[in-house]
Each structure stands twice: as structure tokens, then as C-alpha cells.
Chains A and B, each alone.
Chain A
Amino acid sequence: MAIVETRKLTKVFKQGQPGAVNHVDLETREGEFLVFLGPSGSGKTTLLRMIAGLETPTSGEILIGGNVVNHLPPRERRIAMVFQSYALYPHLTVYQNIVFPLKAQKVKKELHKQKVEWASALLGIGRLLDRKPRELSGGERQRVALARAIVREPSVFLLDEPLSNLDAKLRASAREELEQFQKRVGTTTIYVTHDQVEAMAMGDRVVVLNQGTVRQIGTPQEVYDQPADTFVATFLGSPPMNLLETDDLIVGFRPERFLPSGLVAGSGSTDEIASRMKTEHLLLADVGKRVPLRFRVEYIEYLGAERILYGALEGGRFPGKAVASRIPSGVTERYEANSVHDFIVPESELKFFDRASEKRVAPKAIPWQ
């Protein structure tokens, strides 16, 4: 078990072009599940490959367990990596795949069988040991790749989008299994994904990357509720945070906090509200001060558990600004295209960003009319 640290880590592939990874400083904690989250091309893989030793940094340092490892080849870093493609050896059986790292690292022969059995039992692939990779399903391949990674008991796991090749259903269950598995073995893990749901669900902490720079490091709750800048605010959440630009500020609020005023406590008699909802709980029990906004609904997405309303604000200070609202399924209110409704945002839910730097700033009072 070890801590991975990067100091001003930079990778420039072609001189004169912007770096794929720029001055990244981060430090994992012992046994932590750290997620690199960012859009495609944000440098997640490059960062991970530098930690693995598959890519030479242009500048900066990588430390594993407190030692600078920049000059060490991958095999001397005591890491294990699961590739997006799984990179199983196609000509070897599952057993031979899993035993390969043990042979390569000169583990005593007597221990091979026992270790392979341990790893394959842990991942429930004991009965697949004689098959070739091409005879396995996507989920089974992913397990074999994991088994091959854990069998040598590495000090750090690196996983590059290991679930992205699975179908949606399998992905959800594999996500949970992987998370549980990591908790059980307790190995420091760095997990790369572009899927915010995966990042939020699995990560102890999330590193949000964009264009090779770290935008924010924090727990899933921190990056969601206290985004450091407008990139993080809009990258997380679906649909993304609504942003309204004023003079030198950007004001943001999440779609799930932009709600019909009639359905929020304190905006009518309790009976009246209850009659408009299937469930009796109110959307935002006690929201304190509220900002009223008029919302013209333009189109509606039904997602089963909820509805997403897309439209624009009417009148006020931001006429015509595109915004979205997420309405939970408990609400029975009907919305139709081109209807105008009274909505509110609790003032405590507003986020403020500096318009020039796009960084978050302290809440301010702004005129809404």
C-alpha cells in the first residue's frame, strides 16, 4: 500500500502545442479510491500512464510511497494497471494470463497456483481458467483483467475506464462490485473515467480535470455542491447547472433546485400542495429566502423517474436565458410546451462565479428585476 503523489507533473507531446497534462499536483491518501474525472481528451489517460511509467513526463515528479519514481520502468513501480481494452494476452488462457505477472516478477513457483486461485475466486472466475480471452464476455474479461492486476498484490491500482466497454446494466453492477472489492483489499486505487455518475458513486475523492489541468479535488459532495469554477459546475450534474451572466458575475443554480413555486413549502396551504403531489413530502421543506423566476417551458424530456423541462426565463433581469429544471416523478403537475410558469430558486442554492476567472466567489446580493 502506498501513496501516489505528483508534483508539477507536465506532459507536452508536441513542442509548441498545449500540454496534455499541465502542472498537476495531487496526492492520494492511504487506501483511497481516487477518481480522475474529465471529458474525453482532458489528459486523464496521459496522467495515469505517466504514473504507471508508460509515458515519460516532460517535467515534474512522480512519487510512489514517498520515493521519486520518474526514472523507474513500470515493473519497478509496484503498480498494477487495468487498461480500457483490458489488454488480455489473447494467446494465453485465463490461468496463464493471471499467472503472467507472478512469473514475470519471479514469484516462487509453488505459490503460483494458490495465488491464481485466490485471485480468481475473489472475482468469481474460477471456472473460466481454461478459456481463452476470446471465449469470454465483456464482463468476464474485465474480471480477468482485475484478477491479473490483484494477483501480485500491488501497492497501487491504476484503472483506465475499466467499465466503459460494458453495457449499461452490467456497468452498474460491476461498478458496485469493483467498489466493494476495493474496500475489501484496501489498495490505493486511481480510477479514470469520463462518467460523472461513476465518479460520484465510487470515488472517495474526485479530481476534476480539464485540458490537462486540475480544476478541483474534493469529495463527490464537495465537487457537486461547491464547484470551484464554472467548468466543474457544468461538467457535473445532468442537465448541467444553469448559468446566468450579469455584469462581472455568473450566477448558477442546479436544475433540481429550480422548481415550481407552487410545490415548495410556504407557497400555499398545505392541502393545496399535497393535492398536487402524489407523495406527501414537499420538494424543499424550508428553503428560506427564494428567488422567483418566470419560466417558459419549451420542451420536456420524460425520464421515468423524473422530467426535465427545458426552456427560457421570461421577463425579469434575464429574459430569454436558456435554463432547465428537473422535476421529480412525485409531482403530478402537467407541463406543456410553450406554457409559462412561476418557478423559484432558494437563495441558499445560488452559486456565484467571477465572470473573468470563472472561479467561485462568495455569495452576493444581486438585483433580479
Chain B
Amino acid sequence: MAMTNRKLGVLMFSPAIIYVLAVVGVPFVLAFVYAVGDVKIASVGYHYVGLANFRSVLESPTFRRSLYDSIIFTVGTQVVVLVGSTVLSLALKDRFTGRGFIRFLILLPWVAPVSLGTIGWKWILDSIYSVINWVLVHLHFVRPFDTPMWLGEPTLAMISVIGVESWRLLPFSTVILLAGLTAIPRDIPEAAAVDGAGFWRTLFQITIPMILPIVNVAILFGVIFVFTDMTVVYILTRGGPYDTTQVLPSLAFFTGILGSDLAEGAAISIFLVPILVAVAYFMLRVASRAEVG
């Protein structure tokens, strides 16, 4: 009896194990194998080359630029999302007519397919058809033939990809923060009000510290999400202009898949690992602390 139960258990559990091994484990191991070899797309044979790929990656200015961009992209997005979702969740916390509808609107970017949404943004930011520019021109902020090149100028391009990535991440973060805010008993801000605290003191000394564990979770999820994401960059700028919006995942893709240098692409993506491991470690720690608190 015990034995059959055990067998049944293994049987029921094995699809999950096989799935994880096949979809996560094999590519992961393969990435390491490629990174220390000399494989190219369509090449035959495999020669161990040690750390040569890593050395070449580290020496490449494009890689350094991408690492820098990745950090700017990730941190910038987190800042925008954090401020935005705090404001939004505070605004959506209390009951008012139409709250349900506005919550639905804010959730839309999350449920809409990434590519679809991002292609929409590509048009919004297009050098000729940009509605933003159209509005700016009609408000006489800029002259008709001297409009900002949203995706063509390094700083603006970075701002644009950060903006669109934030737009994607905002619903998720807002929902998490809303859950945190709703968990604060009504008495607490009321006690603060009676104690003499105004809006800002209540916000910074009561509300935000109380939802901090949840904010941390939102940040860590966000960091992992943004740091590994290449969709927005790929669709909007392809890393351009001159690799100024190139992030590590997109660089790995361009080098490894489009540039056929699988080995170097694998080496690039392996640079993501220690950073993500550190983030995941903190995430688990924060999550377990939030439970105890």
C-alpha cells in the first residue's frame, strides 16, 4: 500500500519535474556548455575553448554598454513604476464611482499581448506619425519640422523604452500595492489623523513603512522581469541608436541568434545569472520576513 502510494506520488509528480528539466534545466546547462565552446549556428563539432568567450565578451565595448544600459533600463523602470504605482494604488484604494472601470483600464496593459501593445507604442513614438509630436506641435511646444526623435536620439530612446516598459509593469505593481494597502486596517490611518499627522506624514511614516515588505516583493519581481526582458527594446529600437538602448538579453539574442555566434550569446546571457541569483535570494528573504511580520 505504502509502496503503491509512493509510486503514484512519483508518477504524479514526474511531469512537473520533466517539464522543469526540459524547459529550464536543459537550456540552462546547454548555455553553460555553449559558453565554454566555439559553437556557431550551422557549425559542426564542438571545441572546448575555456573562458575565451567570456574574455572576448568582457573586452567588447558593446557588452559594457549593454550592461550599463541594462542597469539604467532596470533601475529607471523601477523608479517610474514605483512612484506611479504608489500614486495609482493610493488613488484607487478608496471607493468612488467608476473605480471598477478605472481599475480595469489600468490592468489592460498587463493582459494585452506585449507585442501588440508595444507595436502601438512604436506608432505613438514614430518619427513621422507620432501622436505625441502632433500634440506638441499643436500646443506650439515644438516646431513642425523639428520634432523630437523619440526612438532616434540616445537619451530620448532610453526614456522611451523605460516609459513603455513602465507602462507594461505598472498594472502588476499597482495591483500588488493595492493588496498591501487594503490589508492596512482602517483604524491605523485614522489613529494617525487623530494623532495629528497630515497626508504626507501618514504616507511616509505610516502607510509606506507598513506596506514596505510588499513593496519589496513588487520591486524584486519587477527587477527580474525587466532585467530579463527584451521585447520592448527589440520591437521599439532594436537596441539602437548605436546600441544606446541595447540591454543584455537583446544583445545576447542579436549576437547568439541573429549573429550566429551561439557561444558568445550564451556567455552574455550567463552574466545575467549572478545578478538574478542575488535578486532571487533577497526576494526569498524578504518574502519570508514579510510572513513573520
Binding site for B on A (CB under 8 A): 52-54, 73-75, 79-81, 83-85, 87-92, 100-101, 103-105, 134, 148, 152
Q: Which residues of A contact B195 (CB under 8 A)?
A: 75, 80, 100-101, 104-105, 148, 152
Q: Is B193 an interface residue (CB 8 A)?
A: yes
Least distance between A101 CB and chain B CB atoms (Å): 4
Check A80–B209 contact: CB distance below 8 A. no
Extra contacts, 16 of them, besides A75-B196, A87-B187 (Cβ < 8 A), are A53-B194, A75-B193, A75-B195, A75-B198, A81-B194, A85-B185, A85-B187, A87-B185, A87-B188, A87-B191, A90-B293, A91-B210, A91-B212, A100-B192, A100-B197, A104-B195
A-B contact pairs, 8 of them (CB 8 A): A52-B194, A75-B194, A87-B188, A87-B191, A92-B209, A101-B196, A104-B201, A105-B196
Q: Do the beta carbons of A75 and B185 come within 8 Å of each other?
A: no
Whether B197 lies near A87 (C-beta < 8 A) is: no
Give the docked Cα–Cα distance between A198 and B258 (Å): 80
Partner pick for A73 among B193, B210, B212, CB 8 A cutoff: B193
A100: which B residues are within 8 A, CB to CB?
Answer: 192, 195, 197, 205
> CA A52 – CA B195 in complex, angstroms?
11
Whether A75 contacts B197 by the Cβ 8 Å rule is yes
Q: Sorted from nearest, which 7 A-B pairs have the closest CB atoms?
A: A104-B196, A87-B187, A87-B191, A101-B195, A75-B196, A105-B196, A104-B197
- Contacts A89-B206, A90-B210, A91-B209: A80 and B188 contacting too (C-beta < 8 A)? no
A52 to B192, CA, bound (A): 12
The answer to whether A104 and B187 touch across the interface, beta carbons within 8 angstroms, is no
Contact yes or no, A87 B190, CB < 8 A: yes
Q: Cα distance A103–B200 when bound, in Å?
A: 13
Are the C-beta atoms of B190 and A83 separated by less than 8 Å? yes
Task: Please name all residues of chain A whose beta carbon is closer than 8 Å to the beta carbon of B209 when the two chains form the complex.
Answer: 91-92
Residues of B within 8 A of A105 (CB): 195-196
Complex Cα gap A356–B209 (Å) = 57
What are the residues of chain B within 8 A of A87 when measuring CB–CB?
185, 187-188, 190-191
Q: Which of B160-212 contact A (CB under 8 A)?
A: 185, 187-188, 190-198, 201, 205-206, 209-210, 212
A193 to B196 CA separation, bound complex (whole angstroms): 25
**Min distance, Cβ B293 to any Cβ of chain A, angstroms:** 8
Of all chain A residues, the one with the shortest Cβ separation from B202 is: A104
Q: Interface residues, chain B, CB within 8 Å of chain A?
A: 185, 187-188, 190-198, 201, 205-206, 209-210, 212, 293
Task: Point out the residues of chain A lying under 8 angstroms from B191, CB to CB.
Answer: 81, 83, 87-89
CB nearest to B189 among chain A residues: A87
Q: A85: nearest residue on chain B (CB-CB)?
A: B187
Give A92 to B201 CA distance when docked, in angstroms.
14
**Chain A residues, CB < 8 A from B205:** 100
A53–B193 CA distance with the chains assembled, in angstroms: 9
Given A85-B185, A85-B187, A89-B188, answer yes or no on A80-B194 (Cβ-Cβ < 8 Å). Answer: yes
Chain A residue nearest in CB terms to B184: A90
Distance from A181 Cβ to chain B, minimum over Cβ atoms (Å): 19
Among B187, B201, B212, the one with the most A-chain Cβ atoms within 10 Å of its Cβ is B187
Instruction: Give Cα A90–Cα B292 distance, bound, in whole angstroms.
Output: 13
Say whether A74 contacts B210, CB under 8 Å.
no
Closest beta carbon of chain A to B275's beta carbon, Å: 30
Q: For the complex, what is the distance from the CA of A101 to the CA of B201, rounded to whole Å?
A: 11
Partner of B193, one of A54, A89, A134, A148: A54
Give the nearest-CB partner of B206 in chain A.
A89
CA distance A104 to B206 in the complex (A): 12
- Distance (Å) between the CB of B144 and the closest chain A CB? 50
Q: Which residues of B contact A92 (CB under 8 A)?
A: 209
A91 to B208, CA, bound (A): 10
Count chain A CB atoms within 10 A of each CB in B187, B191, B193, B201 and give the residue with the most: B191
How distant is B208 from chain A, measured CB to nearest CB, in Å?
10
Question: How far apart are A326's CB and chain B's nearest CB, in angstroms?
Answer: 39
Most buried by A among B185, B196, B210: B196
CB distance from A78 to the nearest CB of B (A): 10
> For A83, what are the chain B residues with a Cβ–Cβ distance below 8 Å?
187, 190-191
Quick check: A54 and B185 within 8 Å, CB to CB? no
Residue of A nearest to B190 (CB): A54
Q: Which residues of A contact B192 (CB under 8 A)?
A: 89, 100, 104
Residues of A within 8 A of B293 (CB): 90, 134
| Cα–Cα, bound, A85→B186 (Å) | 10
**CA A197 – CA B192 in complex, angstroms?**
31
Instruction: Chain B residues near A85: list those with CB within 8 A.
Output: 185, 187
Interface-central residue, B185, B205, B210, by most chain A CB under 10 Å: B205
C-alpha spacing A85/B212, complex, angstroms: 22
Q: How far is the CB of B69 from chain A (nearest CB, A)?
A: 37
Q: Which residues of B contact A79 (CB under 8 A)?
A: 194
How far apart sit A81 and B190, CA to CA, in the bound complex (Å)?
A: 10
How far is it, in angstroms, between the C-alpha of A91 and the C-alpha of B289 when the chains are bound? Answer: 13
CA distance A231 to B198 in the complex (A): 42
Taking CB as reference atom, which chain A residue is nearest B209? A91
Name the distance in Å between B214's Cβ and chain A's nearest Cβ. 12
> Which chain B residue shows the least CB distance to A55?
B190
**Roughly how many angstroms separate A225 CA and B206 CA in the complex, as a whole number?**
48
- Which one of A88, A89, A105 has the greatest number of beta carbons of chain B within 10 Å? A89
A215 vs B188: C-alpha distance when bound (angstroms): 32
B194 touches A74 (CB 8 A): yes
Instruction: List A contacts of B188 (CB < 8 A).
Output: 87, 89-90
User: A85–B197 Cα gap in the complex (Å)?
Assistant: 19
- A-side contacts of B194, CB under 8 Å: 52-54, 74-75, 79-81
Q: How far is the CA of A200 from the CA of B198 in the complex (A)?
A: 38
Q: Which residue of B lies closest to A96 (CB)?
A: B205
Residue of B190, B194, B195, B197 with most partner-chain A CB within 10 A: B194
